[in-house]
Amino acid sequence: MNISDAANAAGLPAKTLRYYEDIGLITPGRGANGYRDYSPEDVHRLTFLGRARSLGFSIEDCRALLSLYADEDRSSSDVKQIAQRHLDDISEKMRGLAEMQATLQSLVSACAGDKRPNCPILSSLGQPKTTKD
Amino acid sequence: MNISDAANAAGLPAKTLRYYEDIGLITPGRGANGYRDYSPEDVHRLTFLGRARSLGFSIEDCRALLSLYADEDRSSSDVKQIAQRHLDDISEKMRGLAEMQATLQSLVSACAGDKRPNCPILSSLGQPKTTKD
DNA sequence: CCTTGACCTTCCAGTGACTGGAAGGACTAC
DNA sequence: GTAGTCCTTCCAGTCACTGGAAGGTCAAGG
């Protein structure tokens, strides 16, 4: 299976497949012409990868998950730990974003958004002791 | 004011101040010895920058905000537009994160997390047609 | 005057996870 | 044989820093 077919099957750009090979995640065989030749298993692992990435797992997490996936003697606790840590990361990110959102929302609401220069958003960034104008 | 004093005053690493000069955000004067010399206004702008960054504005947004901040003839609508777009970005990011969070949470909850290999997290990544094991 | 240590300078490289593009080889269809 | 599409490798860029090396400057102490 050539790279573009594998990419289509896995729902990933061909460039990404080359990148994954570069970093040693999934190394397909090679045909006589030097072309990459992806097996159905390779495609399956690529699909697995794509889903893990879409859940926000880092490449290193994905590497670990792939190796656990292949390991029949794994402990589900190892998998769960990775996922739980990632969940914690997500929660933290969401907290940070929510905080930004709240601050920004109050500033945006307070801003007239007209042709006058007076702007609580800039005032607040310039001297944050008061959140309001 | 030397770079490390300015960095302390603004609450940013000195490296970041050099970086901001590199990209043309804030260019301090120079002493006879070649050292950067930050004026109180420079420090004020750095502090402004730090706050904008901590609200998640991109460097390019910060550049625009700084220039609006300096412009007495600005329209507050220009500021508001930047902030509103950023708010929209934040909302989108939060939506994405919440989706990941929901999916991951249900998978983590379903995983025993013991020494057995059976794992709904890996099962789901391997064949996502069913979310459950 | 000399040394020590803390500061400052510039420049280069690395982060994460790709993405774009150039230069050139291989394959397919007509 | 040639046009067009695929494939290859390699290099550079993204974003906002961050780390570190090599070397200049300054203030204090002996």
pLDDT digits (tens, 9 = 90+) for A63-115: 999 999 999 999 999 999 999 999 999 999 999 999 999 999 999 999 999 99
Residues A94, B104: Cα–Cα separation, whole Å: 14
Question: pLDDT tens-digit profile of B19-54?
Answer: 999 999 999 999 999 999 999 999 999 999 999 999
Please name the helix (run of DSSP H) or strand (run of DSSP E) that holds residue A68, with its range, or none: helix A59-70
Q: What's residue A132's pLDDT?
A: 40
* Alpha-carbon B108 to chain mean position: 29
In angstroms, rounded to a whole number, what is the distance separating the alpha carbons of residues B114 and B121?
Answer: 13
Is the pLDDT score of A129 beyond 70?
A: no
A2 touches strand D (CB under 7 A): yes
Would you say B62 and A118 are in contact if contact means Cβ atoms under 8 Å apart?
no
The answer on pLDDT for B102 being more than 80 is yes
Q: From B82, which residue of chain A is nearest by alpha-carbon distance?
A: A108
Give the nearest partner residue to A76 out of B97, B104, B112, using CB atoms.
Answer: B112
| Among the listed residues B129, B133, B109, the one whose alpha carbon sits nearest the alpha carbon of residue B120 | B133
How far is Cα A91 from Cα A95, in angstroms, rounded to an integer?
Answer: 6
Residue partners of A48: CB distance under 8 A and separation at least 6 = A65, A66, A69, B125, B126
Closest CA to A57 of A27, A81, A23, A22: A81
Residue of B nearest to A125 (CA): B48
- Give the model's pLDDT for residue A131: 45
- What percent of chain B clears pLDDT 90, i.e. is strictly above it? 95
- Domain layout of chain A by residue ranges: 1-74, 75-133
Contacts of A46 (CB under 8 A, 6+ apart): A6, A9, A10, A12, A17, A20, A26, A38
Tokens of B37: 């010399």
CA-to-C1' span, A68 to C30 (A): 51
Q: Tell me the average pLDDT across B69-73.
A: 96
pLDDT at residue B128, as a whole number: 76
φ/ψ (deg, to 5) at B113: 70, 40
- A25-29: Cβ within 8 A, 24+ apart: A25/A49, A25/A59, A25/A62, A25/A63, A25/A66, A28/A3
Cα A115 from Cα B69, distance rounded (Å) = 14
Is residue A109 within 8 angstroms of chain B, CB to CB? no
Assess if CATH 1.10.1660.10 describes domain B1-74.
yes
Picking from A26, A58, A60, the residue whose alpha carbon sits closest to that of residue A43 is: A26
Q: A55 CA to chain B: closest CA distance, Å?
A: 5
Bigger pLDDT: A129 vs A69: A69
CB within 8 Å: B90 and A101? yes
